[in-house]
Structure 1
Amino acid sequence: MIGLLRQNISIAQQNIKGQLLRTILTIIIIAIGITALVGILSAVNALSSTLTNGFSEIGTNTFYIQQYELSIERRGGNRRTVVNPIIKYRQVREFENKYKTALTQVGVTFQATSTAEVKSEGRKTKPKVIIAGVNQHYAENAGVQLSRGRMFSLLDISNNSKVCLIGSDMGEELFEGLNPLGKTLSVRGNKFTVVGVLEEKGSTFGNNIDLRVLIPIDVARGIYTQPNINYNLSVKVFDKNFIDRAKGEATVLMRNIRGLSPQEADNFGITQSDQLISSIDQISDALSIAAIIISLITIFGSSIALMNIMLVSVTERTREIGVRKALGAKRSTISLQFFIETFLISQYGSILGILLGMLIGYGVSSYFEIPFEIPWTAIIAATITSIIIAFFSGVIPAVKAAKLDPIEALRYE
């Protein structure tokens, strides 16, 4: 049995080489469908995993109050873009002072710049450092962890102390691997003492958040005085049973602060990390479905092309089939030979498609500077798909070849 199988595989390889151009074109068509499936799914999985991991570190007990960049309203079939007003410093301070819900703490932050040049002891960074002003609760609310040192205290914030927390890459940029705690760095001529180093986070979408400096919020406002600064609030609830109540009271308070009447819609957004993760999952599912649809359409076309090649091959090799039958070959042997040819062609296309798809996924991951994950689910799905292609494309030609009458086949010219 094994010897017969090897013989059929050898014959199949020879016949594939004999119709090389048609085979290559069919392999490419199959590979395109598999590439779409593996490539899109691997890219989507990498993006989704990175974003989900980032939000999951925050925890489901924290929600954010922030400006929605855009909202969409439909009027007469047309879309109208509405920009919400920024959240001003006066509003976040009023929220901090008036929000008294039990078992909660309020964090405040704003990004002053993402192109700062930071100096220390004759060394300086490239102008790509993120400077953010924060209060004492921001880091805990945002799930930020320290690798060494301490967080900001209430005294640091209330006394406008010139202290800072730095990202993990700042130490390499400015202090050449030395312990940065207690060292001094300069931001726009202002001297800050490093009291803590943040845990490494890595780059996401080309944005290296390990190159950042956190400073007390009022100190940051004194250094960066540009108009229309937008602030973000975060509220951490220490008992998850009170999360809905906390969000409800935050919504009411923020509406009052923003001066909204009962008839007016919210002009700010309240989001929770699990809501963001859910949105990411929905987008990922939609892209995955799109990848599957694209690949199925392409695979359907490749199946027809592969079946056509094998039917032509049966016709061209009618006399050969007659000779083999006259020498005692069974129907099962003839049909197995053609089925093996179909299977090999589909697997060649599958392997090429998987390699190209993984290359696309790796390219997307490298471009956005996110970890690449081997898409095992997509690879398994692609392999199963290629086997299904081989089965449906190979059955009809194999049956046709097996049913040929040996006498009539020998007469064929």
Structure 2
Amino acid sequence: MDPCLPIVHGDRFHLTDIDPDRPGLENFIIQQNNATGLATALFDPGSGQMIRKWYAGAVVDVGRGLAADIDPASKGLEYFSTQPGIFNAKGTQIYASQPFPPEAIWWDADLSRELVATVGSSAESPAISKFNPASPGSPSRIYTIYNETAPGVYQAYGGRPQFWGDILGDWREEYLCVANDNSELRIYTPKTASVTRLYTLMHNPQYRMQATTKGYVQANYVDYYLGTGMTPPPPPPMVGADLLWRGGSGSTTWDNGVSGSWTQAGSVAPFTTGKSVLFDISADSSTTVALSGVLQPGSLDFYSPKDQVIDGTSGSLSGGMALMKAGKGSLTISGTHGYSGTTTVWDGALIVNGTLSSSPVTVWGGTFGGIPAAGATGGRVGGSGTFSQPVTLGYRAAVTPGSGMGSAGTLAFGSGLVAQDGSYFSLD
């Protein structure tokens, strides 16, 4: 692929997991008077590499563009602009006509996204519309805002609200605008019950940042695929726990009631049975965590971009605890561990160089998983060890024996391995 140049100013950009089959995020952009004639593009925001480019044949000002899952029949998000056509996540044109690009809002009960639209020729009467595949250029109105309650709401510049986003919980978004006489700041919220249960979108770091940093009025996006056919999203980084791992020189031992290797409410504290524990980005990962004795935490959460090693030579994890692994960092565990709660991997590598004797394991590949990742990113299990209970690989998850490509190993699955659609094996 060629470098992401030359890119110039454009009035819209939409960054999220547009193509759930491709590892990583994608950014759909429009261009304003690009001298090369580039009109719209899709590129990888992590590497800056182009995925697709569309040229207009002349220098053009593409005034608006949108990326949203508006068509449940097409996997991933669709995108379009003031240039002809609506395209699927792979860049294939699926409709020849399109509406003038509005903004996107999660409003009704399904996982597709609706449109912040206007009624009439003045473009000042806001409403919520839904894409109609039978008439792709003419969305269907599903909720009228502008005249629902006197004195009405009329917003200039395409009916733009003051803000819209998930501010009241649930996962749908609220619509904020000012009454015509400036007497009220109104908050409109979806009225339709949904059977889909997701944590509030403001708990997702990318969504929260987009809600506060975009200078133009445009939609906010999470850093995972939220749309029709989605898999469970990764947990938010706000993880409650009794104890937070310190680590580093002098704080390398995890024992019961002796070593002050943890903090509790900001103060140094030892571990005691039943406490929930967390390894996050603040933990010092420069030294190995040495287990001492049989340890029974209430839960063990690892949510970090750092690589951490737990040495079970002189200790083990036991009891009913569950283990949750998220973040891009790897978690390497040696020794034999008899805890019976579930082990769930959302991102990064869980490397087992020992035995998990009693814990069933579920692995999700997440945004950065999938076959093209070749075992280098995304949720995966590896090492040279034994999983005695069932292991289930969800969408985009991987088995990568050893400690990465170039370091082979042997994994044993004592009670079976279930590989769901989209999961894979990366073998060296």
Higher RCO (C-alpha 8 Å, min separation 6): 1
Q: TM-score range by the shorter chain?
A: under 0.3
Query: Normalising to structure 2: TM-score of the pair?
Result: 0.21
Q: Which has the higher strand share?
A: 2
The structure where helix makes up a greater share of residues is 1
Q: Is the radius of gyration larger for structure 1 or structure 2?
A: 1
